[in-house]
Chain A
């Protein structure tokens, strides 16, 4: 079995701003056709990392290859072949939507027809609107459409759903899946856990300029999610025996809310033990750990 070729490889990337080390040791690879997530708290070095890959930053150390090119030597080659939606950028307020797409599409012969892109991203009615008159969400969608205007092999989306309301965010996720279906590899920078969990095939968690975990969302949840959690409510005391139920490792109580943690078939044993004692909570349930739990476990030790 051969794995698909890597479109991005990063080995021991290092980036300093003066004495400030933004990225100290970041390594990962992105395979063709996947949606790859870079997840981390604000200031972790996510944007610095992707901007280094796009040839927008000098690189102090490490080996980087994007579509087979080294951003230190062939930044222009890379930029021509990728699409980028930057976290901080803008267009002139008086530039119209269609003018922007027309201009960016002209960067590469055979780029996509901007009318299709407008329709894809729900901007068809806004073709003649000026950039400055668009809402935050519309501006974000325009930037993503611009990132796709040169029909790139690889697209970088940096915090693209920031500023979108929940409904537009769902729409954007669907569109990101469609980008991938067209054969474009997607590198998604985000600090939104549900976004990463829903969209990414694989991801790295970055904190303080280093990679602290790498894997599929499900793999990370299994590894760092903190086992199984069973929750229910019960009025009254006398449940101290819960700690002795098989597979249970920990019991937390907040007034009438109980959280039982453990490994394996915790739910079945807890349910049986409760019923045996005549207690049948209607809200007994097992809660699945989410990427958010993983993220907090990996990056937020100081609040423990």
Chain B
């Protein structure tokens, strides 16, 4: 446990020493917020956004998006990059347990995502006066579940991809597809043809619905279960494919 704490603290410090990744994790969600908020405002239009104001719809979606961006991009790049450089081999040869190495990365990811999400909500409240979470425990649960699901996906990507560049490329691609089709970009109601079915199978769609359930009491259907299953499945696969070198 002492080792996990030490490693997590060290990982967090290392993260903060990378100005570009910090900027990416914190500024990107804010940028998306300003663009979409500027375009759509927070007016209620019954046809779109599940019948609520655009910003009321988007902010829970962006909180879910933050867990996706850290999980799908930062985490795989970190893990694959460390394997590529030989850092993982160095840890392994010294008897560092897998759960400490992976656990510290996931904990660091959660801290970054939490900071980024709180900042996002505070800005959205100030600028657009969005609705605050109806159920704090519901939102917390949705944050933890979607955070775990994307962390598991991120560890899996980091495990199977050979290097940081491949992880970056695939991570950004997946993140972007999920952003557009998963419901954090255009309102799901305007997706036509094959786009909507694809959107429905993205984990982000269900993470957003779980988040909106806690935030706005909008029905989430099976989304909670689906996000939890993504976590279980990706964890099992990551556990099977994790390599030190």
Query: Which positions in A face B, CB cutoff 8 Å?
Result: 54, 56, 76, 79-80, 83-84, 86, 88-92, 94-95, 99, 102-104, 106-107, 146, 150
Measured CA separation A100–B121 after assembly (Å): 36
Residues of A within 8 A of B92 (CB): 56, 79
Measured CA separation A91–B94 after assembly (Å): 12
Q: A79-B94, A84-B93, A146-B94 are in contact. List 5 more A-B contacts (CB 8 A).
A: A56-B89, A79-B95, A90-B90, A103-B10, A107-B3
Query: B43 at interface (Cβ–Cβ under 8 A)?
Result: no
Interface contact A94-B14, CB-CB below 8 Å: yes
CB < 8 Å A-B pair total? 60
What's the tally of chain B residues with a CB closer than 8 Å to chain A?
A: 23
Residues of B within 8 A of A107 (CB): 3, 94-96
Interface contact A88-B95, CB-CB below 8 Å: no
Measured CA separation A207–B128 after assembly (Å): 72
Residues of B within 8 A of A104 (CB): 94
13 A-B contacts (beta carbon < 8 Å): A54-B93, A56-B89, A79-B92, A79-B94, A84-B94, A86-B90, A89-B86, A94-B18, A95-B10, A103-B6, A106-B6, A107-B94, A150-B94
Query: B7 at interface (Cβ–Cβ under 8 A)?
Result: yes
Interface contact A106-B3, CB-CB below 8 Å: yes
Question: Nearest Cβ distance between residue A167 and chain B, in whole angstroms?
Answer: 27
Interface contact B93-A56, CB-CB below 8 Å: yes
Query: B2 at interface (Cβ–Cβ under 8 A)?
Result: yes
Interface contact A106-B2, CB-CB below 8 Å: yes
Residues of A within 8 A of B86 (CB): 86, 88-90
Interface contact A89-B89, CB-CB below 8 Å: yes
Residues of A within 8 A of B6 (CB): 102-103, 106
Known: A54-B93, A86-B90, A90-B86. A103 touches B17 (CB 8 A): no
Chain B interface, DSSP helix/strand/loop, else mixed:
helix
Query: B31 at interface (Cβ–Cβ under 8 A)?
Result: no
Measured CA separation A150–B95 after assembly (Å): 10
Residues of B within 8 A of A91 (CB): 87, 90
Interface contact A103-B7, CB-CB below 8 Å: yes
Residues of A within 8 A of B89 (CB): 56, 86, 88-89
Measured CA separation A76–B96 after assembly (Å): 9
Residues of A within 8 A of B202 (CB): none
Measured CA separation A99–B87 after assembly (Å): 14
Question: Nearest Cβ distance between residue B91 and chain A, in whole angstroms?
Answer: 9
The 3 A-B pairs at the shortest CB distance, nearest first, are namely A79-B95, A89-B86, A89-B90
Query: B82 at interface (Cβ–Cβ under 8 A)?
Result: yes
Question: Nearest Cβ distance between residue B79 and chain A, in whole angstroms?
Answer: 12
Measured CA separation A231–B82 after assembly (Å): 54
Question: Nearest Cβ distance between residue B89 and chain A, in whole angstroms?
Answer: 5
Query: B85 at interface (Cβ–Cβ under 8 A)?
Result: yes
Residues of B within 8 A of A94 (CB): 14, 17-18
Residues of A within 8 A of B93 (CB): 54, 56, 79, 84, 86, 89
Measured CA separation A89–B96 after assembly (Å): 14
Residues of B within 8 A of A99 (CB): 10, 13
Most buried by B among A76, A84, A150: A84
Most buried by A among B13, B82, B93: B93
Interface contact B14-A92, CB-CB below 8 Å: yes
Nearest-CB residue, chain B, relative to A78: B95
Nearest-CB residue, chain A, relative to B81: A92
Interface contact A80-B95, CB-CB below 8 Å: yes
B1-47 interface with A by 8 A CB criterion: 2-3, 6-7, 10, 13-14, 17-18
Measured CA separation A99–B7 after assembly (Å): 10
Most buried by B among A88, A94, A103: A103
Residues of B within 8 A of A106 (CB): 2-3, 6
Measured CA separation A99–B89 after assembly (Å): 18
Question: Nearest Cβ distance between residue B222 and chain A, in whole angstroms?
Answer: 40
Question: Nearest Cβ distance between residue A17 and chain B, in whole angstroms?
Answer: 13
Residues of A within 8 A of B90 (CB): 86, 89-91, 146
Residues of A within 8 A of B95 (CB): 76, 79-80, 107, 150
Nearest-CB residue, chain B, relative to A81: B95
Partner of B14, one of A80, A95, A150: A95
Residues of B within 8 A of A79 (CB): 92-95
Residues of B within 8 A of A76 (CB): 95, 97
